[in-house]
Amino acid sequence: MPQEIVNRISSLRMEGITKRFPGTLACDDISLSVGEGEILALVGENGAGKTTLMNILMGLYRPDEGRILINGSEVVFRSPNDAFAAGLGMVHQQYMLVANMTVLENIALGYKRAWSPLRVDLEMVRARIGEVADRYGLSVDPDAFVWQLSIGEQQRVELVKTLCLGARFLILDEPTSALTPQETDELIDLLKRMRSELSIIFISHKLHEVKNLSDRVVILRRGSVAFEGSTSEHSPGEIAALMTGREVVLPKNEAPCCEGCEALAIRGLKVRSDRGFLAVDGLDLSICSGEIVGLAGVSGNGQRELAEAINGLRSVEEGEILFFGRDIANLKPGEVIAEGMGYIPEERNTEGIVPPFSMKENFILKDSGDPHYASRSFLRLKEIDRNADRLREEFDIRSPDTRVAAGSLSGGNIQKVILARELSRAPRFLVAVYPTRGLDMGAAEFIHKRLLEKRAEGMGILLVSEELEEVLDLSDRIAVIFKGRIIDTLDRDSADSRKLGVLMAGVKESGDEAV
Amino acid sequence: MDFAVNILALGVPFSVALLIASLGEMFNQRAGVFNLGCEGIMAMGAFLGFLAPFLVGRGGPTAEIWNYAGILMAMAAGALMGIFFGLAVVTFRAPQGIAGIGLQMFGVGVAGTFFRHFVGGTQSIPGIPAMPIPLLSKIPVLGPILFSHNPLVYVAFLLPPAAWYVLFKTPWGLRVRASGANPRAADSIGVKVNLVRFQALAVGGALAGLAGAYLSLCQAKMFSDEIIAGRGFIAVALVYFGHWRPLKITGGALLFSLAQALQLAIQGRGINFPYEFAVMLPYVLVIVVLAFSRENLLLGPTALGRPFNREIRT
Ligand SMILES: Nc1ncnc2c1ncn2[C@@H]1O[C@H](COP(=O)(O)OP(=O)(O)O)[C@@H](O)[C@H]1O
Ligand SMILES: [Mg+2]
């Protein structure tokens, strides 16, 4: 395939890139360069401007200032088509796939060589997919609809798509933040294999991945380059410190397990998934006040359904959920909240906030009828403002003010809004589902500290997470969920990531001192 | 037997205006824009289709040609109105529901006003005559049902497979579907989403214009203010009913037209069946069908009604 060979990109340079959005300076005079066959890690806190910078490189945004040079000569990308033609390709943070089209159609959408005015040559696209799949060992089912695929499979489709379009230079925007640990390992291996043929810009918050994979690292802080250097010369701790401008130490739960009363007792719980099968299938779990129980497991093993059932968002088929002695199974969400349950849901944008509502309105979503915030059907706006200012300050939420739409905040700040709302209501118990997914280390540290504080104050917490480190750092006990049941529960001291990994895969070792 | 054949032979041409307009609306919606102004474009199409043959085409050898000139004018005006609508909802991001109602009132109002100004009162035209297909129209049962209509009916029934092909087999159809289902994704892979939406609106408008012209030139052979009689709205409803799929939409259009033909036939026999009920039926059916097919909605344009701008986060 001679026409396959897009001009080589022996060097790529972005120079003095500046981009403003209303009220925000997203990129402030950023310069960086990448050589052939190099893997550059781009790191920075949420909102540092990484995605914006890469969107500029792909021709999606026009920079207000600055220029892009490929092989030493300036290029201007007016649309992604120009960037594709130059051999660039990007896997976006939010996958850019049309859910109700097949994999084949999604790729055909960009594969212009298969287009004639009256027909798309899908067979040609299929052949091209086969070619790429063979070459990189990336198998995808061309006839599957995207909505049928798991997150990991969708990402593979994204990779195949960019490679099919002829990318010689790959941009990966937080590719691992939604993957399971196994999928992450596979991806890292794949990228290592690809480095002989491609240059890569890799964005991640997980610094061990950055260490493991990249040659050089560029750290962005609030829109400008804070540091640039070779990866091998710096430890993850140093990189984290440069990223946040201070030292980051993820806190650990080292306090002795306190003997609280039983706060939440789940017995024989059965809950159906959206697709109708029993996602939670006879689950037993008990959590005390002043205790954090980590629920480890590969996502999709019933975590979502369990959390929703506890919070009254999904009906319980069988079994009971005793909350301080009262069965709350099948109560309405409002009743569960009134019982003193706090909830950090998995989907922060769609379930945790009302995106177009202002930040201050989101703070009182659960209390809009409370006499503190409303009197005789009217909202007490001054009180709402006071509350919002206090929480914004206390939780260090970065935004111009408290009137901005919550949906316009960055992921880390949205999570802080949710955390602030839930914790400030002083619940008796908290269900936290993937509370730090996709967040940078600074934000994760903040959230971990808050959770440990609340534990010390006597709150019971169910922490659902895929991140073994997070679970190991914070939990008093760790329950591993597999196919809707607790396959084993370990004490903090007897757990390590190897044991958990084995359990998460559904294998229960005999002879272990399992509880 | 004769009764059934009559109903079918009546119902098939009845369905044509609905069919054409709803296929046009299907393209709009597949690209992510719903155009409630369909009724207004149809009214304009009906008026313009009627105008040319009425003013210049009376009798004489060129009469036929003026019919078709009327059709072209109706389609061109429809496409223009679609583009005009696009300016409001795509470029200026106006709320589509409100803008659509505006377009509907504009179209119906302007057509009616021009009609009174240029024509005055009710006037009939010869219109486009039936063109039975030799031999085929002589087949018992099928002949009168399928092969004894005017040329536009035949054209209309070539449209569903054509629309299906365009939507699912051509690059443009691919772009249209992607723009309506996930504009951000389409944009990221180089599709000019807003251009595609304009194109779809022009196509949809042209088809709505054609549907209107069919009503004045072939069905009523006259123009009046009430000529569209809510068909534009039914066409919109049919798109939902048919889940944005050309063949299902065709089925829906036929179903409702046959119900209407049945109602007329029953009335003709002196049995009083409320007309309003027949008109209501499609809407009721749409509500019922939509209520029971939620997962099907995910197969259609999931970004329907939402304007797209790359730099504005939604
Ligand atoms: N389309 C947009 N409109 C307004 N502000 C935006 C937009 N995109 C990004 N921003 C703002 O620009 C800054 C950088 O965002 P982003 O590039 O997404 O950060 P990162 O990817 O590093 O987390 C943030 O403050 C964000 O709120
Ligand atoms: Mg980002």
Q: Where are the domains of chain B?
A: 2-127+150-299
Backbone angles phi, psi at A17, to 5 degrees: -75, 125
Count the neighbouring beta carbons within 10 Å of the beta carbon of residue B251: 16
Q: Length of chain A, please? A: 515
pLDDT at A513: 41
Banded model confidence at residue B60, pLDDT cuts 50, 70, 90? low
**pLDDT higher than threshold 70 for residue B110:** yes
Query: If you average pLDDT over each of A1-5, A242-246, B87-91, which comes out highest?
Result: B87-91
SS3 category, A172: strand
A92 contacts in chain B (CB < 8 Å) = 188
Q: What is the average pLDDT across A134-159?
A: 89
With a cut of 70, say whether residue A512 has pLDDT above it: no
In the block, residue with structure tokens 């892009």: A68
Instruction: Name the residue facing B182 among A21, A98, A165 (closest C-beta).
Output: A98
pLDDT, residue B278, reads 64
Instruction: Tell me the average pLDDT across B280-299.
Output: 69
Q: How many percent of chain A have pLDDT more than 90? A: 65
Question: What pLDDT score was predicted for residue A6?
Answer: 52
Find, among A94, A125, A127, the residue nearest to A111 by Cα.
A125
- Among A21, A43, A60, A93, which is best to mutate for testing ligand 1, by the most ligand atoms less than 8 A from CB? A21
Looking at all shown ligands, the one closest to residue A20's CA atom is 1
| CB count in 10 Å sphere of residue B267 | 14
- Which pLDDT belongs to residue A514? 41
pLDDT given at position A148: 82
| Banded pLDDT at B197 (limits 50, 70, 90) | very high
- pLDDT band, residue A151 (cuts 50/70/90): confident
> Which residue CA neighbors atom 21 of ligand 1 most closely?
A51
Q: What is the mean pLDDT of chain A?
A: 90
Nearest CA among A231, A195, A192 for reference residue A215: A231
The pLDDT of residue B54 is 87
Q: Identify the pLDDT of residue B293.
A: 66
Pick from A438, A499, A482, A462: nearest CA to A297? A482
Res B191: pLDDT: 96
A150-164, A334-348, B73-87, B121-135: range with lowest mean pLDDT: B121-135
Rounded Cα distance between B233 and A327, Å, is: 50
Chain B nearest CA to A100, separation (Å): 5
Q: Is a pLDDT exceeding 70 seen at residue B314?
A: no
Per-residue pLDDT tens digits for B155-181: 999 999 999 999 999 999 999 999 999
Q: How far apart are CA A384 and CA A367, in angstroms?
A: 10
- Render pLDDT for B238-255 as a digit per residue (tens, 0 to 9): 998 888 999 999 998 998
Taking the centre of ligand 2 as the mean of its atom positions, its distance from the CA of residue A393, in whole angstroms, is 24
**pLDDT at site B108:** 96
Cα separation, A213 vs B92, whole angstroms: 46
Chain B residues with beta carbon closer than 8 angstroms to that of A408: 313
The answer to whether the CB of A52 is under 6 A from ligand 1 is yes
What pLDDT, on a 0 to 100 scale, did the predictor assign at position B138?
83
pLDDT given at position B59: 64
Percent of chain B with pLDDT over 90: 58
**Predicted model pTM:** 0.85
Q: Residue holding tokens 């299929």?
A: A126
**Cα A51 to middle of ligand 1, angstroms:** 7
Average pLDDT (A54-75) is 94
- Whole-complex ipTM: 0.90
Domains of chain A (ranges, CATH numbers): 3-244 (3.40.50.300), 251-340+427-515 (3.40.50.300), 354-420 (no CATH)
Per-residue pLDDT band for B228 (boundaries 50, 70, 90) equals: very high
Instruction: Return the CATH number of the domain spanning residue range B2-127+150-299.
Output: 1.10.3470
Are B174 and A108 a contacting pair at CB < 8 A? yes
Query: Is residue A3 pLDDT above 60, yes or no?
Result: no
Atom of ligand 1 nearest to the CA of A52: 17
**pLDDT for the residue A511:** 47
Q: Per mean pLDDT, which range of A1-10, A152-161, B116-125 is the poorest?
A: A1-10
Q: Residue A327's pLDDT is what?
A: 95
Residue A175 has pLDDT above 80, yes or no: yes
Strand order in the sheet with A11-21: A24-35, A11-21, A65-70, A73-75
Phi, psi of A91 (to 5 degrees): -100, 115
pLDDT given at position A257:
64
Mark the residues whose beta carbon lies below 5 A from ion ligand 2: A 51, 93
Three-class SS of A307-371: HHHHCCCCCEEEEEEEECCEECCCCCHHHHHHCCEEEECCCHHHHHCCCCCEHHHHHCHHHCCCC
Ligand 1: which atom is nearest the Cα of residue A408?
Answer: 27
Any atom of ligand 1 within 6 Å of the Cβ of A21: yes
Task: Report how far ligand 2's centroid is from the alpha carbon of A262 (Å).
Answer: 41
Q: Do B302 and A99 touch (CB under 8 A)?
A: yes
Task: Find where tokens 């723009």 sit.
Answer: B179
Q: Which two tokens stand for residue B181?
A: 């289902």
**pLDDT at residue B22 is higher than 50:** yes
> A480 in helix, strand or coil?
strand
pLDDT band at residue A252 using 50, 70 and 90 as cut-offs: confident
B130 SS3 class? coil
CB-CB contact of A319 with A269 (8 Å) = yes
| A→B interface, C-beta within 8 Å | 21, 58, 60-61, 79-81, 84, 90, 92, 94-101, 105-106, 108-110, 112, 115-120, 147, 161, 165, 407-408
Note the pLDDT tens digit of each residue in A101-115. Answer: 999 999 999 999 999
CA distance B237 to chain A (A): 22
What pLDDT band is residue A149 in, cutting at 50, 70 and 90?
confident
- What is the structure's pLDDT at A515? 39
Give the single-character DSSP code of A148: G
